[in-house]
Amino acid sequence: MLNKMQPQPGQQNSADQATGPLRGLKVLDIATIIAGPLAGGLLADFGADVLKVEMPGDGDGLRALRPHKNGVSLWAKVINRNKKGITLDLRTPEGVEIVKNLVQECDVLIENFRPGTIEKWGIGPEDLWAVNPKLTILRVSAFGQEGPYANRPGFARVADAMSGFLSLCGQADSAPMHPGYPIADSVTGLFGALGILMALLERQTNPDAKGQVVSVSLFESMFRILDFLPIEYDQLGEVRQRTGNRNPYAAPGNCYQARDDQWCTVAASTQTLFERLASAIGREDLIIDPRFQTNVSRLQHADQLDEIIGDWFAQRSAEEACSELEAFSVTAAKVRTIDELFTDPQVIANQMIVGLEDDELGSVRMQGVTPNFSRTPGSVHSPGPALGADNNTIYAGRLGLSDAEITTLRNKQVI
């Protein structure tokens, strides 16, 4: 059995342990699956009071996605950490009334339904601003709120493909390869959290201004992170293609298989790093070889360079190879799996994994927070709640509903 990391100071399971620069910010998270809830989770990491709303019965569709333990969604434990959780059917008149009551005291609402859906339910931006004119609303979608694709359904894999990102992933002579994780959701969640913070800053600097909608989509987010690819096509007419693990911008840069069948990656992207690499593998002659004297020439002769470096790796274990390269300050690393990170000294030193107690699973471990703040650090104080775990606390404590009213709502499957 793995030794459990103990909860660190400031990271115990208590809502009053919430720390960070966003403490006092109130967020209503009615979004589903990944990108929207991740945006809310990032705010919760830094002290925001985030209330997660899920449909009665099955809850957020995220709970159906693997992995599970004893039927409990492990993904939900991370993405909804530090949040309180209630159930509420937003499609009912009672649900609409409750949402409007909740947003009266909120700074932010996060939703990710298809454009027009919350308007149809009666909780669109204008409906919500009628009860809270200062509310910031994050709208997450597949393709944005406007345009011919706006009403299309879409998930991360679709955004990967349509944005141009997927065309860069995989070997040149094989099918495009999706990453093993829905990266578009993560990128969009980050943009969503950033958008919320910018909107809140604008509201603070213009106190008389009305709240605003922040729109973010999987498609736009993935297109934005392509960086220079659009301007490269615009100015040079070049359509960049897949190059597998080989770095298309600098050489050498590839993954190499070691003697023990483990893989290592090398990124010798500058002239200095290449010269260090040549020295590390005992091939100083490469430095003066006309084929490898500049990055441009190295890219032109990348096959020969990869063969030389690959032969060197094949004579050593991954650990031996990386240790020898590290001695020459060459940027290289073994491709590691998650189990190796749990014992990594850098991970431990920076509390990148924290231990918590969960009502459903007992002791659990997950990522700590990032970025790190010197004066107002964030924290992880609770895993994601069980479905409807805070119904009584919120409906009775925050909204003042009686036991009879809560029972009626439950019997009508509103909560």
Of 60, 89, 185, 306, catalytic: 185
Q: What φ, ψ does residue 10 adopt, rounded to 5°?
A: 85, 5
Burial of residue 338, with CB atoms counted within 10 A of its CB: 0-12 exposed, 13-18 middle, 19 or more buried? exposed
Paired sense of beta strands 362-367 and 353-358, if any: antiparallel
Phi, psi of 84 (to 5 degrees): -90, 155
SS3 180: coil
Cα–Cα distance list, 22 to 44, 64, 321 (Å): 8, 31, 44
Q: What is the DSSP letter of 282?
A: T
Q: Could you identify the residue written with the tokens 């927070």? A: 369
Helix (H, G, I), strand (E, B) or coil at 140: strand
Q: Are 193 and 108 in contact (CB under 8 A)?
A: no
Question: Do residues 330 and 256 make contact, with C-beta atoms less than 8 angstroms apart?
Answer: no
Beta bridge partners of 332: 266
Residue 185 appears among annotated catalytic residues: yes
131 by Cβ neighbours in 10 Å (0-12 / 13-18 / 19+) ranks as middle
CA separation (Å) from 31 to 28, 49, 111? Answer: 9, 16, 4
- Under 8 Å between Cβ of 144 and 217: yes
Q: Which amino acid is at 66?
A: R
Count of beta carbons in the 10 Å neighbourhood of residue 254: 20
Q: Helix (H, G, I), strand (E, B), or coil: what is residue 355?
A: strand
What CA–CA distance (Å, rounded) separates 50 from 30? Answer: 10
Is residue 174 within 8 A of residue 247, CB to CB? The reply is no
Catalytic residue numbers? 185
